């Protein structure tokens, strides 16, 4: 009778262990709000059996939540869509260093945080180029082929742009500050303000449509917004994209600015092994192709070829020069940039 009881207990323990193994979870805080990412999460769960519990917010909201929750935070993985915010999370100690040979081999150094002896704080998994859109009828391409020309008096009254304080612009302005120096960057920002066709408002798509409607003649946009319009079947969108041209700025100098979306393991992650496994999945060819074809982003992993026709067409085949300044420098310039925006009246 005792032997039978012991045997039954062993069976129950084995069943419990099996059930626990099937109930592996990953708690994800994500600033990515793209329906195409659902396939990423579903495929990861299918491949690993790890269930994803997701909380959606913007970059700033996620960082604020992590700080408020402290050691009680359930977050395992953090996905953000801006290099400056990734840097902010790093310097505020909200991430734990990652040691992964797979990630180190897959993601080039220019798309990740600087490694420490303990590991790498975060990795970038996709990028969006911040480019210039222009009215092909009214504007010459050579008048908008650098960021500097956005402040040139020849473009007075022509520019549409979203809020200067939006993370996409803060990162661009932080990069330009690194290239030009603070004094010249502030003068540049003042020149951009002087060239605005209207006060900053709306998102990047609104800026492109502003060019199409004639409200302005030049706009700044991330490439994935442009690619969405290029892939659209709407007659209005097709007509819009016939009218506008796209320039990847500064090809003859420092290169085009990239905005980076990436991920990190939360400092107080309760499932750190699952977290690293998920980030390693994001570097796989399968996941990288979802970024490229699903959300029109440029993959960062080595050896991944982009088959997205919209990305290929706007960049002239996919090859363009990108800036190579340290991402930490872009993030570190954010406070300076915000102060400059206030001084020059960039809303």
Q: In this predicted structure, what is the pLDDT of residue 318?
A: 63
Q: Do 166 and 278 belong to one domain?
A: no
Pairing of strands 25-30, 51-56: parallel
* Helix, strand or coil, per DSSP, at residue 299: strand
**Cα separation, 193 vs 275, whole angstroms:** 43
Enclosing H/E stretch for 313: helix 309-314
Asked if pLDDT for residue 160 goes beyond 90, the answer is: yes
Same domain, 137 and 250: yes
Kindly state the average pLDDT of the residues 170-188.
Answer: 97
Q: CA–CA separation, 225 vs 230, rounded Å?
A: 9
pLDDT band for 8, please (50, 70, 90 cuts). very low
Do 208 and 288 reside in the same domain of the chain?
no
- Look up tokens 């990652």; give the residue: 98
Same-domain check for residues 234 and 266: no
Q: Can you give 85-145 as a three-state secondary structure string?
A: HHHHHHHCCCEECECCHHHHHHCCHHHECCCECCEECCEEEEEEEEEEEEECCCCCHHHCC
Identify the pLDDT of residue 17. 43
- Of the pLDDT bands very low, low, confident and very high (cuts 50, 70, 90), residue 5 is very low
Shortest CA distance to 169 belongs to which of 209, 130, 196?
130
235 and 160 within one domain: yes
Residues 217 and 283 in one domain: no
State whether 73 and 41 are in the same domain.
yes
- Are 283 and 207 within one domain? no
265 near 28, Cβ under 8 Å?
A: no
Co-location of 253 and 333 in the same domain? yes
> What pLDDT was estimated at residue 313?
86
For the segment 81-138, what is each residue's pLDDT rounded down to a tens digit?
Answer: 988 899 999 999 999 999 999 999 999 999 999 999 999 999 999 999 999 999 999 9
Q: What is the pLDDT of residues 233-243, one digit of tens each?
A: 999 999 999 99
Q: Which residues pair with 96 in a beta bridge?
A: 265
My answer on whether 51 and 184 are in the same domain is no
Distances (CA, A) of 86 to 13, 92, 167, 295: 42, 10, 11, 20
Nearest one of 224, 265, 259 to 330, comparing CA atoms: 259
Distances in Å between the alpha carbon of 32 and those of 1, 94, 249, 323? 58, 18, 26, 24
Torsion angle, alpha carbons of 328, 340, 204, 159, to 10? -130
Residue 2: pLDDT over 60 = no
pLDDT-above-90 percentage for the chain: 82
pLDDT of residue 317: 66
pTM: 0.88
CATH code of the domain covering residue 245: 3.40.190.10
Total domains in the fold of the chain: 2
178 and 206 housed in the same domain: yes
Which of 30-44, 218-232, 245-259, 309-323 has the least mean pLDDT? 309-323
Residues 227 and 293: beta-carbon distance below 8 Å: no
For residues 285 and 203, membership in a common domain is answered with no
Q: How far apart are the first and last CA of the chain?
A: 80
| Contact in structure between 231 and 292 (CB atoms under 8 Å) | no
Spatial contact of 160 and 198, defined as CB atoms under 8 Å apart: yes
Residue 73: give the domain boundaries.
2-126+259-314
pLDDT digits (tens, 9 = 90+) for 269-327: 999 999 999 999 999 999 999 999 989 999 999 999 888 999 988 877 668 999 998 88
Higher pLDDT, 7 or 149: 149
Q: Give residue 33's pLDDT band: very low, low, confident or very high (50, 70, 90).
A: confident
| pLDDT at residue number 4 | 42
């Amino acid at each position: 009778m005792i032997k039978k009881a012991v045997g039954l207990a062993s069976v129950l323990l084995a069943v419990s262990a099996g059930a626990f193994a099937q109930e592996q979870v990953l708690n994800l805080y994500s600033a990515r709000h793209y329906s195409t990412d659902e396939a990423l999460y579903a495929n990861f769960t299918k491949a690993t059996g790890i269930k994803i519990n997701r909380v959606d917010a913007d970059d700033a909201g996620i960082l604020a939540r992590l700080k408020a929750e402290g050691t009680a935070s359930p977050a395992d993985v953090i996905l953000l869509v801006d290099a400056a915010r990734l840097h902010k999370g790093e310097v505020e100690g909200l991430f734990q260093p990652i040691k992964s040979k797979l990630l180190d081999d897959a993601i080039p150094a220019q798309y990740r945080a600087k490694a420490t002896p303990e590991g790498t704080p975060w990795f970038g998994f996709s990028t969006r180029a911040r480019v210039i859109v222009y009215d092909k009828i009214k504007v010459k391409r050579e008048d908008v082929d650098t960021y500097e020309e956005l402040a040139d008096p020849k473009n007075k009254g022509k520019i549409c742009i979203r809020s200067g304080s939006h993370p996409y612009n803060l990162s661009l302005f932080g990069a330009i500050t690194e290239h030009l120096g603070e004094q010249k960057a502030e003068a540049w920002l003042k020149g951009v303000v002087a060239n605005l066709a209207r006060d900053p408002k709306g998102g990047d798509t609104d800026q492109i449509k502003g060019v199409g409607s004639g409200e302005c003649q030049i706009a700044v946009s991330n490439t994935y917004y442009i690619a969405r319009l290029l892939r659209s079947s709407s007659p209005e969108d097709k007509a819009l994209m016939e009218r506008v041209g796209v320039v990847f700025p500064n090809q003859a100098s420092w290169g085009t600015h990239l905005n980076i979306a990436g991920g990190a393991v939360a400092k107080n992650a309760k499932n750190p092994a699952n977290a690293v496994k998920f980030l390693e999945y994001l570097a796989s060819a399968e996941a990288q192709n979802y970024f490229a074809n699903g959300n029109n982003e440029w993959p960062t992993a080595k050896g991944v070829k982009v088959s997205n026709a919209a990305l290929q067409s706007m960049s002239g085949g996919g090859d363009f020069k990108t800036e190579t300044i340290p991402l930490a420098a872009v993030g570190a310039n954010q406070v300076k940039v915000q102060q400059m925006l206030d001084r020059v009246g960039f809303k």
